Amino acid sequence: MGDDSQDRDLQSKVVQDRHGAPVQSPAAWMLIVIDTDAVMANYPDPSKDQHRPTSISQDKGFLIATGTKVESGQRTGEVRMAAVAGDTVYVSAISGSDNFEDAVLLYGIARIERTQVLSDFDYQNVQQSTVAPNSTLEPLPAQIATHTFEFHQASVIAAGTEGYDMKFALHIRDLNIGQLTLYGYFSWNLKITAQG
């Protein structure tokens, strides 16, 4: 009987939609697009040590932020969102070629200010269904396929502003062999403001 009451207590804490399905906390999705050509032109001798990445200027990255919570900060390194404790923030990064030519891999997000607005970011690597072209000749009708998605996830824990170092590895394609090789490790600053 005690187990039943515990189950009811847990169920009562799960937010559900009008059909009874669990509802995730409101989310903000942030995609950082790195201008890899500009990075290579301006940083010809980058760090090869992942623990000491080369810091790049703000204009080498572009932020695309979506979600009902995002208020401002598109295309900049500063994003403002109307978020409350428990809301979720997802961050990923990619090159301007969608990692087709040069490839960006976000490997760490480090707090650079003492104000703690978000929990620590956790790396997530999950498989989820998505759409894929029907064939190499025709995109439609789309097929449902499984894809591996990578992102870093944190929860809002307080109102305020906090700065982060977005650490990424840049791989460039060696045209002689057609394979990607490590060019260097970099960091790009992002400032996040959460206001309740």
User: Which residue is it, tokens 């498989």?
Assistant: 127
User: Please, is 27 exposed, middle or buried when counting C-beta atoms within 10 Å of its C-beta (0-12, 13-18, 19+)?
Assistant: middle
Q: What pLDDT, on the 0 to 100 scale, is given for residue 82?
A: 78
Q: What pLDDT, on the 0 to 100 scale, is given for residue 196?
A: 65
Residues 127 and 150: their CA atoms lie apart, in Å, by 9
Give CA 108 to chain center in angstroms.
Answer: 10
Instruction: Using DSSP bridges, classify how beta strands 70-72 and 160-174 pair: parallel, antiparallel or unpaired.
Output: unpaired
pLDDT tens per residue across span 101-138: 999 999 999 999 878 899 999 999 999 999 999 999 99
Q: Which residues of 85-120 are buried (b: 16+ CB within 10 A; e: fewer)?
A: eebbbbbbbbbbeeeeebbbbbbbbeeeeeeebbee
pLDDT tens per residue across span 1-60: 444 444 343 333 344 445 555 546 678 889 999 999 999 999 999 999 999 999 999 999
Residues 16 and 45: their CA atoms lie apart, in Å, by 52
Cα–Cα separations (whole angstroms), residue 156 to 54, 65, 125, 196: 28, 16, 21, 10
192: Cβ contacts below 8 Å, ≥ 6 apart: 78, 79, 81, 89, 117, 118, 161, 162, 163, 164
What percentage of residues in the chain have a pLDDT greater than 90? 63
Mean pLDDT across the stretch 68-88? 73
Q: What is the mean pLDDT of the chain?
A: 85
Q: What pLDDT, on the 0 to 100 scale, is given for residue 178?
A: 86
